[in-house]
Amino acid sequence: MEMSEHILRGHWDAAISHTRARSPASFDRWFSTVQLDNISPQTLGLRAKDTFVRDWVSEHYLPTILQYIRFASGLALQIHWSLGDIDTPIVPPPIEDPRANRVVRPSPARPTIQRPSLPAPVASLPATSHPSPPPAPVEDPPSPLASPTPVASPFPVTPPLAPPGTSLRPAPAISLKELNPKYTFENFIVGPSNNLAHAAAQASAGGGGRRYSPLFLCGGTGLGKTHLLQAIAHRVLSEQPTKRIIYVSAERFTNDFIAAIQHKRMEAFRAHYRSECDLLLVDDIQFLAGREQTQEEFFHTFNALHELDRPIVFSSDKYPQQLERMEERLVSRFSWGLVADVQAPELETRVAILRKKAQIEGILLDDQVALFLAQTISSNVRELEGTLIRLAAKASLTNRIIDLAFVQGELSSSSRSKLLSVDDILRVVSSQCNLQPSDLLSTDRHRTTTFARHVAMYLCKQRLPMSYPEIGRAFGKDHTTVMNAVRRVEKLRTEDAQVRAQLEIIEKKLTG
Ligand code: ADP
Ligand code: MG
């Protein structure tokens, strides 16, 4: 029997969500000018605005999309492209909800697409008649530490609200579409910065060694926590396929919980997360901060699973004790098993990671270039990887090879500032003021802290492609506070020589 169009469309949607997760902002810009005309078990009919879009999408996105569909359905689809006006783009243009400062889901017909709130840094393109599309599937900026507003999870999360009358019960076992197929143990490079977390994760997946539960993986943004969590899922999925694994972001857990209350489906919700779960993997648990009711529910989920001796693994951007607005009884449970941190990788590990990524992506990368990149970008792996992909895309677009001259040119000081992140700014400013990065995101009003926070906001405005509201969201403040802070620092910079000198030191450190 032929696979129905309905099922095929489901695979297509999942493949789109999956591919988009790698770099939502770039993906959206390209796919707002592409349309799905038809899909059958043999062919995929796509329409692009013009040849430029068609070629870019074919080269940079289709391989992943097709591979995903093949993986999920066993079908090897042929592509039929046409060119012309786009009536129903795959990704509609963004709609921002100004009231909530949050992202609105564009259309009920495409439920899995979630809008990013920050634009991707856009690398410069050679002269072209195309003003709008971005050049490369670059990574979106990493989410700021301890952001008090919902942070886009690395995977587009299916909205939990089911239409009335349908079952809200989530899928019984992990669904393929929520996992990144590349986040496996095989693709994870182990070094001194992450070997404890890696070993503990392997043990959680049944790979020998003492199994700690809960296992609490913590560390800064982009250092491989999600990768490890999903590697556990992949390993268990392949070795013990009957195990019911739940991989869920704390944000998704929260949304599911709220939806369950609204639809009076708590029983199904509880069964899903408690009795029907053999292994619970919760990503970004810090998201529960300040959400008292969800914490309460999660506390009972934890207890139920713990009693059944079902393993639980968390990831968090902070150590348990540093989690703010988190119930004490939860914090203490987080440390019951093993707390294993991931640190920024050392140079050798960074080089090995780059080689691995290049191999996975089919990028030719010589040793000299790998070393140069690893030396230049030290803060986080996501940035390292994003830069490699961006360089590869640009090299292929301009018919260059990725040699040292090309890479050095691309990473010259002007473009290097584009690679900065909010985290880098927090790190440098706080260390200059003898504070912790988290102090700058806290509500502490001591003079030094307030000043450092204002300087960090000012630098975000100066150095990053961020608007006032975006900076506000990163710092948990409203945009007028940010505007005032920026003005204040600007004023002090012209009037106060000491401030000027301090800013210069910080800026020098940021430029590396
Ligand atoms: P986190 O969840 O800690 O913010 P991620 O797990 O999303 O970070 O990792 C960011 C990117 O860096 C991912 O693409 C991941 O594959 C990659 N990465 C991080 N650490 C490693 C590592 N040790 N080996 C290979 N890839 C890594
Ligand atoms: Mg993560």
Tell me the pLDDT tens digit for each residue of 168-183: 444 444 555 679 999 9
Please report, for residues 107, 108, 403, the alpha-carbon distance to residue 93 in angstroms, rounded to integers and kept in the order given. Answer: 10, 14, 37
State if residue 382 touches ligand 1 by the CB under 6 angstroms criterion.
Answer: yes
Q: What is the pLDDT of residue 176?
A: 55
- The mean pLDDT value of the chain amounts to 81
State if residue 218 touches ligand 1 by the CB under 6 angstroms criterion.
Answer: no
Q: At CB < 8 A and 24+ separation, what contacts does 291-294 make?
A: 291/254, 292/327, 293/257, 294/253, 294/254, 294/257, 294/258
State if residue 281 touches ligand 1 by the CB under 6 angstroms criterion.
Answer: no
Q: How far away, in angstroms, is 284 Cα from ligand 2 center?
A: 6
State if residue 353 touches ligand 1 by the CB under 6 angstroms criterion.
Answer: yes
Max CA pair span of the chain: 78
Q: How far away, in angstroms, is 154 Cα from ligand 1 center?
A: 11
Average pLDDT over residues 227-234: 97
Respond yes or no on whether the N-terminal peptide bond of residue 98 is cis (omega within 30° of 0): no
Q: How far away, in angstroms, is 221 Cα from ligand 1 center?
A: 9
Q: How far away, in angstroms, is 323 Cα from ligand 2 center?
A: 16
CATH class of 176-342: alpha beta
* Shortest-distance Cα residue to atom 25 of ligand 1: 188
Q: What is the pLDDT of residue 91?
A: 83
Spans of all domains in the chain: 1-89, 176-342, 347-417, 422-511
CATH class of 347-417: mainly alpha
Tell me the pLDDT tens digit for each residue of 102-123: 333 333 333 333 333 333 333 3
Atom index in ligand 1 nearest the CA of residue 345 equals: 23
Answer yes or no: are the C-beta atoms of 312 and 280 closer than 8 Å: yes
For β-strands 96-97 and 102-103, DSSP reports them as: antiparallel
| Helix residue spans in 342-412 (DSSP H) | 347-361, 367-376, 381-397, 404-410
Q: Distance (Å, rounded) from C-alpha 435 to C-alpha 445?
A: 13
Q: What is the pLDDT of residue 103?
A: 36
* Shortest-distance Cα residue to atom 21 of ligand 1: 224
Atom index in ligand 1 nearest the CA of residue 342 equals: 3
| % of the chain exceeding 90 in pLDDT | 54
Average pLDDT over residues 359-368: 93
Q: What is the DSSP letter of 379?
A: S
Q: Distance (Å, rounded) from C-alpha 394 to C-alpha 403?
A: 12
* Shortest-distance Cα residue to atom 5 of ligand 1: 224
Average pLDDT over residues 171-199: 84
Torsion sign across C-alpha atoms 197, 199, 142, 284: negative
* Shortest-distance Cα residue to atom 19 of ligand 1: 224
Q: What is the pLDDT of residue 95?
A: 54
Of 239, 251, 222, 226, which is closest to residue 386 (Cα–Cα)?
222
Tell me the pLDDT tens digit for each residue of 87-104: 888 887 655 434 433 333
State if residue 146 touches ligand 1 by the CB under 6 angstroms criterion.
Answer: no
What residue has token string 């490369």? 136
Q: What is the pLDDT of residue 212?
A: 94
Q: How confident is the model at residue 198 (pLDDT cuts 50, 70, 90)?
A: very high
Out of 19-33, 146-160, 377-391, 467-481, least confident range:
146-160
Instruction: For helices 266-273 and 250-262, give the axis angle rounded to 10 degrees.
Output: 150
Q: Which CATH architecture has domain 1-89?
A: 2-Layer Sandwich (3.30)
Q: How far away, in angstroms, is 423 Cα from ligand 1 center?
A: 16
Of 193, 203, 385, 216, which is closest to residue 284 (Cα–Cα)?
216
Out of 12-16, 22-26, 28-32, 46-50, least confident range:
22-26
| % of the chain exceeding 70 in pLDDT | 80
Q: What is the pLDDT of residue 253?
A: 96
State if residue 144 touches ligand 1 by the CB under 6 angstroms criterion.
Answer: no
Tell me the pLDDT tens digit for each residue of 294-320: 999 999 999 999 999 999 999 999 999
Q: What is the pLDDT of residue 183?
A: 96
Q: What is the pLDDT of residue 72?
A: 72
More confident residue, 172 or 455: 455
More confident residue, 14 or 103: 14
Q: How far away, in angstroms, is 181 Cα from ligand 1 center?
A: 13
Mutational test site, ligand 1, from 188, 282, 381, 383, max ligand atoms within 8 Å of CB: 381
Q: How far away, in angstroms, is 316 Cα from ligand 2 center?
A: 8
- Decide whether 176-342 matches 422-511 in CATH topology: no
* Partners of residue 340 on adjacent β-strands: 217
Q: What is the pLDDT of residue 113?
A: 35
| CATH fold for the domain made of 422-511 | Chromosomal Replication Initiator Protein Dnaa; Chain: A; (1.10.1750)
Q: How far away, in angstroms, is 224 Cα from ligand 2 center?
A: 7
Tell me the pLDDT tens digit for each residue of 248-261: 999 999 999 999 99
Answer yes or no: are the C-beta atoms of 366 and 391 closer than 8 Å: no
Q: What is the pLDDT of residue 310?
A: 96
Torsion sign across C-alpha atoms 32, 38, 43, 45: negative
Q: What's the one-letter identity of residue 288?
A: L
